[in-house]
Amino acid sequence: MRVLVAVLLLVILRPNLAEAQAKYPGRPPSMEVVRQVKEFFGKYDYHQKVKFINPDGLTGYELQTSKKTSFESDAFWKANDDTLSFLYEFPRPLKDSLDAKNNGIISFYPPGGENILSAFNWSAVVRRNGDTLIIPFDTARVDNPYGKRYDWTHPGNFKNYSRAWIFPEGMRAVSYRCNRKGVWTLKRNVLQFVAEPNQNEFNFELKYLHKNVRPRELAGRPVVYTKEIPVTSDTIFLELRDDQEEDGDMVSLYYDRDWIGRNIQVTKHPLRFFLIMGKDRKEASFILHSESEGQIPPNTADLQILTGDKRYSVVLSSSKTGSSGILLKR
């Protein structure tokens, strides 16, 4: 069967073979046939990584799959002190070679490709900006060879390359970028990057945050939570008014990681609105953020909260140096 395939490919590739012999005189025709056969079958080779991120945002699992032609084997470099812990491989490597110079191991897999399941831990490399977690471009060794951040292959380039991150509930991507050309898509909690063909040395920066945690700071200002409000209904009604002299206070309102009102003037006339907190939610935050302190700083406002048949009152104070908020808890 293999002989028949080789003969058919030889017939198909004969025009290219003639061109190659003219371009590279002296090269054995058999070598050119092998090269073109490998190129023909390897056109749709691919490499992909999918990271399943745990709720802590720092640990999780990675599934890596590679498909190669039956003419080529694959090798994968593993760092002894890496943040990846290899849990499952199929097929098993044909052999492992110690790379003492770079403190690693090179695994050689059978032709056709491999599947590798790993556990990762970003604790040592993650950076924080308030509540935002950042996996930066310049991280030294996360799941990468020779102390470099990027994914790479040798010789040649990745024919087709894709990467995806699956975020747990309550976490979302803030921004993401790659040093190579490709298309980003975000569907629900899945962020995916599909590269343009035939590229190499992929490097990523990823910023993400917990959507439902208490923000420790907002727009560069620390947040102080003054009161916890027990919630007994999905719909929460609020009234916000100036509790002192009207002096032109301007505020913005922040709920559940989103701005729900910007540059609102606080007056004696109450601003009435409502919030939705689903039954599956255990906690949410509401924050008063100062935009202008008026003539008499700081911003102060009386907030009335109605949940079920209970009414609560709290005075919030916000300034250019800090914001004030409440916690809504079931």
DSSP of 13-47: HHHHHHHHHHHSTTS-HHHHHHHHHHHHHGGG-EE
pLDDT score of 166 more than 90? yes
Q: Is the pTM of this model over 0.85?
A: no
pLDDT at 40: 65
DSSP states along 172-196: EEEEEEESS-EEEEEETTEEEEEEP
43-210: in CATH 2.60.40.1730 = yes
20 compared with 245, residue with greater pLDDT: 245
pLDDT level of residue 142 (50, 70, 90 thresholds): very low
| Closest by CA position to 47, among listed 106, 115, 133 | 115
Q: What residue spans define the domains of the chain?
A: 43-210, 219-329
Tokens for 52, please give them. Answer: 């399943």
- Give the model confidence (pLDDT) of 194-216 as tens digits: 999 999 888 888 999 877 677 88
SS3 state at 52: strand
Mean pLDDT within 37-56: 82
pLDDT score of 165 more than 80? yes
- Please list, in sequence order, all residues whose beta carbon lies within 8 angstroms of the beta carbon of residue 277, skipping any fewer than 6 positions away: 231, 234, 235, 236, 284, 328, 330
Report the distance separating Cα 165 and Cα 156, nearest Å.
26
pLDDT score of 106 more than 70? yes
- The phi and psi torsions of 179 (rounded to 5 degrees) equal -85, 0
Report the distance separating Cα 91 and Cα 68, nearest Å.
13
